[in-house]
Structure formats: C-alpha cells, structure tokens
C-alpha cells in the first residue's frame, strides 16, 4: 500500500476514499429485512463540541445542522420510515435567552434552506410538541415546511420542538377525559391503543431504536410512552460530528440484539420466520 503523509497534496483524496470505503463496508452489513421502521435521536453535545473548539455554544448548534442533514439523508436512503429528532425540549427554555434566541433563529434559517431538499428527496416534515408556543417566525416557518412537504411519501422527518414527554402524556389524558365527559368514549374503553391515539405521535409506529449522542445516558423527557420497548444506543460522539457511518453503526448494533418482549430466547427463535 502506498504511504501518504498528511502534507501530501493527494492525502485528502486518499483519506476520503478510505472513509468512503469504510462507510460502504458498514452500510453493506445492514440487513434490509430487519430495519427499524422508526429511529429517534436525542441530538446532544453541541455546546461541549463548541467549547472543545474554543467557540461559543451557538457555533455547535450551527455545526449540528450538517449532522441533521447527513442523518436524514442516510435514514431516507436506507428506507427508514420515520426519523424523529429531539431539537428543543420544553426544559430548554431555561437556557440563557441569547442561546434560545439563536436556536430559534437557526431553526427558521435551516427550515428555509432545507425544505426544497426535503421535497426533492420526497421527505415529509412533521413536528411534535407545543409548537404553537414557539416564537411566531419559527412557528410559521415550521408550518410552511409541514404544509409544503405534506404529500411526500419516502420518509417522515419528525422534529420534536418544545417537546416534553410528560406533557404529551398529560395532554393525551386530557383529551380522553374530554371525550369521556362528552360520552364519545366510555372510561372502560380506554386502553393502550386509545391512549396512544391521543399522543402527539398518533399513527406513527413506536421507535424501535433510540440513539443519544455525546455520552450522556438519560432520556431527558423524550417520548417516554413510545420508547417502552425501544433499543437504546448511546454514542460518545458529539452531535456536530455525527455522520452517516455513526447511524449505520447504531443500526448494526440494533440488528445484533435479540428483542424478546418479555419472552425467553428459545421462544423468540421458535417464532422467527424461516
Ligand atoms: C444539544 O446540544 C442541542 C440542544 C439541546 C438544543 P446541547 O446544547 O445540549 O450541548 P451540550 O449538552 O451542552 O454539550
Ligand atoms: C435533551 O438535551 C434535549 C435535546 C436534545 C433537544 P439536553 O442537553 O437539553 O438534556 P439535559 O438537560 O442534559 O438532560
Ligand atoms: Mg445537552
């Protein structure tokens, strides 16, 4: 193999080739028959990544957009049906006002820039959370994006914005209480399906795979009901550095697991279609 040093002109091309090769190799390890239908991601580590580079936190958020683009593209290429990205939690309002403002502005800018690409790639945009409480410009950009991509069918990209899983559960309970009071539903008819139908994720399959980046091991009020049986994957990578190969790694890891849903291994093996 020829030796290359960092300062040789052709090194970047050689390296890009290597990365491409490794990526293809990872991608080819993915079993198309065992793909999760829905992947959810807690995109974390923007601030720490920026700090590592001696930059303000907003620099990390800006660089996180590239990771969003790559992850969306990779998921769509693979044939994932739903990709849900946790972009802003209800608790995130507690951050310094300047950071919240910059994030809201970045959202508007990104939505304006990316909607055409989403459309070109036949990707539908959806949002979950109390989005009507977002600043007007952000809310409007979001609604426009949702409207303009409503007919797309390849993949649904769900942005969790001003999202809180506890809020989601409480609002579902509230809707059911109203229906019961109006006698549209009887209390005895309230089962898991009726409840799930009132959650913000109604109509979507539960995520089979939940990824959190940046080496944090917590859920931070994200999709509590929906991840009851999700496989959890924690990546040490800070979100701005998350790339296609990291998604492939998570999917490969997911596919190696045995999902038992309370059964024992022998039952799962016996139930497997041959
Ligand atoms: C995730 O990165 C982005 C949002 C929560 C909006 P962080 O901003 O939480 O980055 P860290 O965790 O401080 O590094
Ligand atoms: C979770 O990340 C929320 C989002 C990724 C949008 P945080 O960085 O806000 O979570 P905590 O505060 O560390 O739990
Ligand atoms: Mg964080």
Which pLDDT score is estimated for 15? 62
In angstroms, the CA 255 to CA 274 distance is 17
Mean of all residue pLDDT scores within the chain: 94
- Decide: 146 and 127 in contact? Cβ < 8 Å: yes
Read off the pLDDT band of 272 (50, 70, 90).
confident
> How do the domains of the chain map onto residue ranges?
34-164+207-255
Distance (angstroms) between ligand 1 centre and the Cα of 133 equals: 20
Nearest ligand (C-alpha, residue 160): 2
Catalytic residues: 44, 92
Read off the pLDDT band of 273 (50, 70, 90).
confident
In angstroms, the CA 254 to CA 165 distance is 23
Average of pLDDT values for 257-268? 97
Q: Tell me the pLDDT tens digit for each residue of 39-77.
A: 999 999 999 999 999 999 999 999 999 999 999 999 999
| CA-218 nearest atom, ligand 2 | 14
Phi and psi at residue 38, in whole multiples of 5°? -135, 125
Tell me the residue ranges of DSSP E strands in the chain. 38-42, 82-89, 123-128, 155-163, 209-212, 231-234
Ligand 2 pocket check for 49: Cβ under 6 Å:
no
- Decide: 74 and 248 in contact? Cβ < 8 Å: yes
Which pLDDT score is estimated for 23? 74
Does position 200 have pLDDT exceeding 70, yes or no?
yes
Which pLDDT score is estimated for 10? 56
Output the ligand 1 site: residues, CB below 6 A.
43-48, 88, 92, 103, 214, 239
Does position 203 have pLDDT exceeding 60, yes or no?
yes
| CA-86 nearest atom, ligand 2 | 6
Nearest ligand (C-alpha, residue 61): 1
In angstroms, the CA 197 to CA 199 distance is 6
Which pLDDT score is estimated for 106? 98
- Decide: 40 and 227 in contact? Cβ < 8 Å: yes
In angstroms, the CA 37 to CA 180 distance is 33
- Decide: 250 and 211 in contact? Cβ < 8 Å: yes
- Decide: 209 and 254 in contact? Cβ < 8 Å: yes
Distance (angstroms) between ligand 1 centre and the Cα of 79 equals: 28
- Decide: 258 and 268 in contact? Cβ < 8 Å: yes
Ligand 2 pocket check for 218: Cβ under 6 Å:
yes
| CA-163 nearest atom, ligand 2 | 6
In angstroms, the CA 129 to CA 98 distance is 22
Q: Tell me the pLDDT tens digit for each residue of 8-37.
A: 555 566 666 666 777 779 999 999 999 999
Domain topology for 34-164+207-255: Undecaprenyl pyrophosphate synthetase (3.40.1180)
Torsion 133-134-135-140 (CA) sign: negative
Tokens of 60: 């990390």
Does position 207 have pLDDT exceeding 80, yes or no?
yes
């Amino acid at each position: 193999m020829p030796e290359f040093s960092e300062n040789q002109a052709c090194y970047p091309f050689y390296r890009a080739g290597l990365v491409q090769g490794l990526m293809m190799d990872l991608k080819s390890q993915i079993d198309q028959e065992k793909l999760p239908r829905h992947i959810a991601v807690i995109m974390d580590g923007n601030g720490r990544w920026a700090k590592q580079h001696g930059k303000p936190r907003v620099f990390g958020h800006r660089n996180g957009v590239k990771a969003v683009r790559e992850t969306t593209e990779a998921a769509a290429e693979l044939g994932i049906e739903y990709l849900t990205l946790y972009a802003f939690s209800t608790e995130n309002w507690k951050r310094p006002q300047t950071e919240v403002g910059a994030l809201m502005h970045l959202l508007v800018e990104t939505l304006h820039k990316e909607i055409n690409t989403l459309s070109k790639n036949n990707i539908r945009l959806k949002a979950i959370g109390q989005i009507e409480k977002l600043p007007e410009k952000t809310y409007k950009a979001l609604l426009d994006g949702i409207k303009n991509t409503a007919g797309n069918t390849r993949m649904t990209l769900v942005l969790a914005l001003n999202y809180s899983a506890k809020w989601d559960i409480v609002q579902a309970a509230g809707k059911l209480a109203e229906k019961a009071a109006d006698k549209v539903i009887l209390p005895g008819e309230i089962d898991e399906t009726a409840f799930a139908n009132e959650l913000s994720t109604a109509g979507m399959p539960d995520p089979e795979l939940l990824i959190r980046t940046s080496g944090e091991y917590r859920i931070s009020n994200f999709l509590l009901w929906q991840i009851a049986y999700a496989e959890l994957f924690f990546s040490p990578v800070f979100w701005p550095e998350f790339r296609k190969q990291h998604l492939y790694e998570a999917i490969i890891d997911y596919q190696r697991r045995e999902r038992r849903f309370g059964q024992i291994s022998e039952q799962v093996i016996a139930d497997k279609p041959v």
